[in-house]
Each structure stands twice: as C-alpha cells, then as structure tokens.
Amino acid sequence: MSKPTLSKSSFGELSLDSALLRNLEDLGYQQMTDIQAAALPPIIEGADVIGKAKTGSGKTAAFGLGILNKLKVERFRVQTLVLCPTRELADQVARELRKLARAVHNIKILTLCGGMPFGPQVGSLEHGAHIVVGTPGRVEEHVRKGKLLLQHVDTLVLDEADRMLDMGFQASLDAIIEHVPAGRQTLLFSATFPSGIKSLAARVQRDPLMVEVAATHSTLSIQQHFYRVDDNAQRLQAVCQVLQHFNAESTVIFCNTKRETDEVAVYLKDQGFTALGLHGDMQQKDRDRTLVCFANRSVSVLVATDVAARGLDIEKLDMVINYHLSRDPEVHVHRIGRTGRAGESGKAVSLISEKERYKIERLEGLLGQPIEAEPLPLPDESFVPQKPPMVTIQIDGGKKQKVRPGDIVGALTGEGGIDGTQVGKIHIFDLCAYVAVMREASRAGLKKLSNGKLKGRAYRVRVIGV
C-alpha cells in the first residue's frame, strides 16, 4: 500500500507505516516540529536518543510515532514502557498515543499511576497490554509484586526525566530498569539537562544521540517583563499589582516551594481573586479537581510548584508569573513556554530582587541579553477582580457508572435546559465527572442536572471551585 503524499519537510519523508501516515494526515499533522524532525529519524532507526526540548514542542509525537512504528500488534505482551513524573502527564501521554494509534487496530495502551486503586490495575494487567504508561512509584510496585512483566520490553521511554529525579524517583527508576532487557532502545526526554540527567543517561543508554532544539522563545509570541521588588514582604502585593495591571483571564503563578504556593493562593483569595494552589502534598482527587477547574476556565489563577504543574496543558494561557526566579535558568524558559503557544501571544512576568543577582546573571547568560528591571505597575485601589467566564459543576457519577459526555450534554440541554453553546469542557473520572457551564447559565444548568437524571439515575451535583 502506497504512502500518502504529504508536504515537503513532513512526516511523509520518514519510513513510517502507511496507516500511521494516513492517520497523521487525518489529524492535520502536516509538517514536523523541530524536535520531531531531529529525533524521529534516529528513533525509527533504533538508536538511543536524548531529546532536549521546551514544553509544547511535540516530543510526545516524536517518541510516540517511533514506538508505534516498531510495535508488533500480533504479539500481545508489554513491548513499550513509558515512565512519567506525574499522573497528569502520564494521562496526557496516553491520550496522545491513543490518538496517534487510532488507525492501527487492536493496540492496547494501559496507564499505571499512583493515586488510583491498585486492584483494578491488576485486573487490567491480567488482560494484557502492548504499551504501559505510568509513574515510577506505581510501576515499581506492580513489578515488585510480579503483576507487571517487562521481559519483552524493547523500548523504554523516560519522559520529563529531570522532574522524575527532582521528585526522588531515582531508586524506583533503577529498580524498574533492572527488569527491562539490556538490549532495549532507550529514549530520554528532558526540558533541562542537569548533572543528574547526564549520569542517568550514562547508566541506562548505549551511545545515545543528543537531539536539542532551541530553548528560547520568540519575543513576538511572549512578552517578558521583569519587575523589581525590594524584599520578600513586597512580593505578595506585587503579584496583586501585576494581576490588576494586565487583568488576564488565565494566569499561572510559579512558586519554588509548597509553603509559598499555599501562602500566595490564600492571599489572592483574600484579595478577591479566584485562585487555587497546586502542589505535590495534595491528594490526587484534589489535584484533579484543581486542574479541571483551571482548564475549564472557572478559576482564573493557578498557583503551582514546577513539579505539580508538569503535564499541565492549558489552551490559551494568557500569563505566567514567576513569584521567584527558578534556581535553574532552563526551568525559567520551560515555565514561560506555557504561554504564547500555537501562534497565540502571551505575557511572562518575573519578580526579581537584588538578592537574586546570581540567578539573574545565569538567566542573562542563557538568554544572551541583559535583563532590565522595570518598576512595578502602580496599585489600582478601584480594581475589582473579574469573575471567570465559566463555572464547574461536579457530578458524583463517572466511568464506573458508565456516564459519558453525551449523557451530560443531553441532560443539560434537554427540554427546558440551557443552550448547547453554553456548555464547555467535560472531564470524566472513574467516580465523578465535571462539566463547565457559562457563568450566566450556571444556575439553570445546576438546577437541570439536580432535578433530572443521567442514564435513568439521579446523581448528587454541586458547583465547585472558588
């Protein structure tokens, strides 16, 4: 069967299976991103690869297409293991792989993450899988208990490897890799490349090819501001002044510690902003709910640590604020790359003090230009934070109850309900579901769901968020 003809400098130039190429064309994937163009050819050839690229670069498709191209569907056993630092990122990777694989029949992709019940995962493993995507702690637990067998794995992917080391997963990674055949292909992707990553690569890879794409962002898409603060006591008020000045609809504020994350989120709520915190000490269900509210645009400000925000994939993020500069200048570039994506414009604001001179100098070295600190925007005493455009409603029924998006839309828009254009994003988990509704329709939507039924059954519903 002939390969479809795609544009020059495209996936059609690669030795990819024709079904994968047709699916890419259907998905509208025409030209490769820089990381895909650089990494895919050696991956397809079977080489070990280290990929260094900023967030939003298309690296999941880079390793995903390589995985799927060599997969032998007729051999129903685990052939690929993808390890990610957080459940959110693992879910995102699994979704992308399923999308890329939809033209190849009978591929089974399984996620194994902490924060989820262990028993059902064992049941899923007993039914078999071709690709396992998971977090190191939970994958190690399944391997240790003999529930996950890795003797047939021929591709190992370490995604966001720097964050896995930051989160203390070194021992789990070592324990897992002991059970993977030595003759495998190993692909390591990382936004930054500290010494720990170099050491890890030296231990787990064979003559890896280093693939690196530009770590800077276009000044046309991201407008950076560096505002001077005198001391830490001024930072909280400074954040408010920045939020007032730009009045963005969606903002992520990055903090270096969990304590600061909580402190900033509480302060902003006290000032009338719809803000939530996100860090690793939160229970998984609370992290899920927080991410859903922000993704649904029913919360305007997300205050997060770097690790907790990995896997955060928000469309049209208007602004990023660095409460403190990161200790690693490459992490700074990674943070601000979450705005200004896909041709959209974005703003990146950093609060800096003279005590952070060493961080500033390191960042200047990476950016290749001096950093000019600006005076803070003046406070606006008359400013009233705007309410987010959406409201999120939680339904206490999910995948286990066979609730589907169509059921929720039908219940909201049925006789006497709200208009379909007033329904936003829907997220369905095992035991609950979330639906975003435009603020002006939220009362009517809540009433419709409260008085109605889904699949013939009444569920408890309530508005969540702030």
CA distance 246 to 159: 34
pLDDT tier, 344 (very low <50, low <70, confident <90, very high otherwise): low
CA distance 30 to 58: 13
Secondary structure (H, E, C), 324-381: CCCCCHHHHHHHHCCCCCCCCCEEEEEEECHHHHHHHHHHHHHHCCCCCCECCCCCCC
**What sign does the CA torsion over 326, 330, 333, 336 have?**
negative
Res 171: pLDDT: 86
Res 34: pLDDT: 86
Structure token pair of residue 295? 């993704």
- Residue 311, Cβ density class (10 Å: 0-12 exposed, 13-18 middle, ≥19 buried): buried
pLDDT tier, 187 (very low <50, low <70, confident <90, very high otherwise): very high
pLDDT tier, 8 (very low <50, low <70, confident <90, very high otherwise): very low
* 84: DSSP letter: -
Is the Cβ–Cβ distance between 251 and 243 less than 8 Å?
yes
- Greater confidence (151 vs 114) lies with 151
Portion of the chain with pLDDT greater than 90, in percent: 53
266-309 pLDDT, tens digit per residue, is 999 999 999 999 988 888 889 889 989 998 899 999 999 887 66
Say how many CA atoms lie within 13 Å of 100 toward its Cβ.
24
Of 35-44, 57-66, 84-93, 331-340, which range is least confident?
331-340
Domains present along the chain, CATH in parentheses: 11-212 (3.40.50.300), 222-367 (3.40.50.300), 390-464 (3.30.70.330)
Find where tokens 């995948």 sit.
Answer: 399
pLDDT tier, 222 (very low <50, low <70, confident <90, very high otherwise): confident
388-428 pLDDT, tens digit per residue, is 999 999 999 998 998 888 788 888 987 888 888 898 888 88
Return the number of other C-beta atoms located less than 10 Å from residue 83's C-beta: 26
Portion of the chain with pLDDT greater than 70, in percent: 92
79-114 pLDDT, tens digit per residue, is 999 999 878 789 989 999 999 999 888 899 999 988
Cα-based angle 152, 165, 284 (whole degrees, multiple of 5):
85
CA distance 73 to 446: 45
